[in-house]
Structure 1
């Protein structure tokens, strides 16, 4: 039984519905629903009564509320103690990046953090929901994520402290052989699932700005930006990818920019942590990263 599963169950108990529990856990409702099914599949039991609206916990699970809360408290305390002892002894630090940023930004962060040759760094990768969940559950010290400039990130009770460390641009690209398709009425595209961050950016910020009469036809869909990149190189369709991720492919002629005919979207790169007292060593590294970040991640223009 994983700690985050216990906290998911308690979130449903506290909020009274899957939708409100998803908000509390800083997940989309669809992502939280998938987690709920994963919990049930792994335990091998039905925990949620789907005959009721809103969906609620089965009576037998509700009867275990006190035991679940005590177990959650003990495990959180144990995790914090183990992590604190580890950090103080070995000066270790963990952070998580959105998938694309793991490739483009995390190497610079790791280099900056390990210059003293004393710090050990663990890097994780996930979509934005997963990054926030790992941050909330204190599995990582901070997260590096994309955001739309001027968009407010979810901040229940001012839970997060965020710093913008650079910018990027989500640009439309395709293999040179598909360049003419970018001006067709029906454009073959590689898309992101609607529940992931880049899928939301496309639906909110890009799709409404497509040329009048243009229809984006999905040829493939995946949440993994590296897979989207390969599909674009393999001439499957037009893809919207961070400029930092495709810069080398553009320079080599493997991909062509088509933002002269299709819309692009500016992105901010943010370093995020919980807004609470930090261990002395973690605070020192956070401050160390600020000037490094400012010089390492220059603005990428459209």
Structure 2
């Protein structure tokens, strides 16, 4: 199936007219009609009911319309990527970041990489497990993700190597109004001992960190009251800013909100340090990437959430 064929079919579906579809495709009506007939001959099936006005796609074509549109978009992206790849002669560097890091630290990484001569940097985003799988499959050169301080040797997948870049801190924050209303005592357990909070799904990294490292350190009188759950730290941050509840968020993400007074850091609730690691295929694959690997690890200005 050629991209031109898909676009011709979609033009008829969108306009309901061979004449208007021909105009959209910058062809005369007779030339466009011949093209449609050629497509039908190649495929061995009719595509449209021409006896009706407007022209109607046959049921089988209508059923495949979403797939045709997706295929058209994918082929166009592929064309663009091939052009970019050709123009840059393989200079593009691909990095995947855990979602929260994409929003906070990846801008610094992109700046550093482009300053070192990378023509372009492609940044992808995913949860931590997805990031590691992209490295293993060769889709990306490096992955940047969080890990708890004591877990690296337990969880690092065989065939990968990782190095620490810096550290961040998972801190409990709330909107000032909520903090003033709910947290009046030193134990910060909230009204009637209930702590309204924004949670993470238990099967994602921050959900596991919350369950393993935060919950056991809460006061015994604290009753967690889940108000919303999301795997995206950016969404959790917006929920906290809206006064919905407390959330444990990376300090790199909320630092500007704390400085501006839009959020309050809740002293007395547990916090958790997180390492920020860079992961790649073990042994290195390219001398240039080896140099980037060393430079990023040794950079003195890495923007982590902890001093030093």
Shorter-chain TM-score tier = 0.5 to 0.7
Match of 2:303 among 277, 291, 297: 297
Give the aligned partner of residue 200 of structure 1: 208
Give the aligned partner of residue 5 of structure 1: none
Give the aligned partner of residue 154 of structure 1: 155
Counterparts of 1:160-171 in structure 2, within 5 Å, are 160-171=160-171
Give the aligned partner of residue 218 of structure 1: 226
Q: Distance in 2 between matches of 1:226 and 1:151?
A: 25
Match of 1:284 among 282, 291, 298: 291
Asked if structure 1 preserves the Cα contact closer than 8 Å seen for 2:250 and 2:305, the reply is no
List, as ranges, runs of 4+ consecutive aligned residues in structure 1 with deviation greater than 6 Å: 85-88
TM norm structure 2: 0.66
For 1:215-267, what per-residue CA distance to the aligned partner results, in whole angstroms no more than 9, with x for missing partners?
11110000010000000000000010001100010111111010x22111111
SS in 1 for 2:301: helix
Q: Distance in 1 between matches of 2:102 and 2:122?
A: 12
Asked if structure 2 preserves the Cα contact closer than 8 Å seen for 1:91 and 1:281, the reply is no
Q: Distance in 2 between matches of 1:251 and 1:130?
A: 33
Q: Distance in 1 between matches of 2:163 and 2:124?
A: 19
Asked if structure 2 preserves the Cα contact closer than 8 Å seen for 1:189 and 1:220, the reply is yes
Give the aligned partner of residue 123 of structure 1: 123
Q: Distance in 2 between matches of 1:169 and 1:87?
A: 41
Q: Distance in 2 between matches of 1:137 and 1:87?
A: 25
Query: 1:156 offset after TM fit, Å?
Result: 4.1
SS in 1 for 2:162: strand
> Could you say what the CA RMSD is over the residues aligned between the two structures, in angstroms?
2.1
Give the aligned partner of residue 268 of structure 1: 275
Gaps of 5+ in 1: 1-81
Cα–Cα, structure 1 residues 175 and 299, in superposed 2: closer, same or farther, change >3 Å? closer
TM norm structure 1: 0.67
Query: 1:135 offset after TM fit, Å?
Result: 1.2
Cα–Cα, structure 1 residues 98 and 86, in superposed 2: closer, same or farther, change >3 Å? farther
Query: 1:118 offset after TM fit, Å?
Result: 4.3
Query: 1:151 offset after TM fit, Å?
Result: 1.6
Gaps of 5+ in 2: 1-81
| 2:237 counterpart of 1:229 | yes
Q: Distance in 2 between matches of 1:288 and 1:281?
A: 11
Asked if structure 2 preserves the Cα contact closer than 8 Å seen for 1:87 and 1:93, the reply is no
Asked if structure 1 preserves the Cα contact closer than 8 Å seen for 2:165 and 2:296, the reply is no
For 1:29-84, what per-residue CA distance to the aligned partner results, in whole angstroms no more than 9, with x for missing partners?
xxxxxxxxxxxxxxxxxxxxxxxxxxxxxxxxxxxxxxxxxxxxxxxxxxxxx9xx
Matched pairs, number: 215
Report which stretch shifted further, 272-281 or 236-245.
272-281
Cα–Cα, structure 1 residues 86 and 291, in superposed 2: closer, same or farther, change >3 Å? farther
Larger Rg: 2
SS in 2 for 1:213: coil
